[in-house]
Amino acid sequence: MTVNTLIDEKAIQKRIKELALKIEQDYSNEEIVLIITLKGAVFFATELAKSLSLPTIIDFIKVSSYSGTQSTGEISFNLDISENISGKNVLIIEDIVDTGRTLTYLKEYLGKKNPKSLKICTLLDKKERREFELLPEYVGFEIPDKFVVGYGLDYDEKYRNLPFIGYIEQ
């Protein structure tokens, strides 16, 4: 299998800096809780967090809906957040929004904990695959309907450590 580059490392880093700047402006020095979805969003989230000059708290959540390249259509809950987010500005950090199922679920779940604000920041958006109405507030790149790997994204748990985003050619 060959992995072709879709977005190279330099372009990703440049875009993350732009997103960080936008987020800083929008939250104007208020405290923010980044809820990072495991495992995929970790690479993106750490880069983004390092570029943010806001008072920042980090937390993690893990739900899964995928096996292989096909969505199973079911969400399983693997790890919950440990922070109290009531009254806080919460920003969910995701690697990719595909059908929108995962984030629709997460938004509803976290919304019940009464955050002051609740937004979504995703590195990638496969807009044309959307089945659930969901508009992430911050999007790194809109991408075509291709299965992508790298920069945290996996195919059966492999390729997450690639420093770029690529697609697999069989």
Just list the catalytic residues: 98
**H or E element: which one contains 42?**
helix 42-51
Per CB under 6 A, contacts with ligand IMP among 104-143 are: none
Stretch that binds Mg ion, among 33-41, 70-78, 110-118, 138-146 (CB under 5 A): 33-41
Alpha helices in the chain (DSSP H): 9-27, 42-51, 101-111
Out of 32, 40, 101, 149, which residue is the one contacting Mg ion (CB under 5 A)?
A: 40
Stretch that binds Mg ion, among 24-32, 39-47, 67-75, 125-133 (CB under 5 A): 39-47
- Length in residues, the chain: 170
Per CB under 6 A, contacts with ligand IMP among 27-86 are: 40, 65-66, 71
CB 18 within 8 A of CB 48: no
Per CB under 5 A, contacts with Mg ion among 85-144 are: 95
Residue 69, phi-psi category: left (phi > 0), alpha (psi -120 to 50), beta (remainder): alpha
Quote the least distance from Cβ 53 to ligand IMP, whole Å: 27
Indicate whether 90 belongs to the interface with ligand IMP (CB under 6 A): no
Report the alpha-carbon distance of residue 42 to residue 64 in Å, rounded: 15
Residue, CB closest to Mg ion: 40
HSE-up of 30 (CA within 13 Å, CB side)?
Answer: 15
Using CB under 6 A, list all residues that contact ligand IMP. Answer: 40, 65-66, 71, 94-102, 147-149, 153
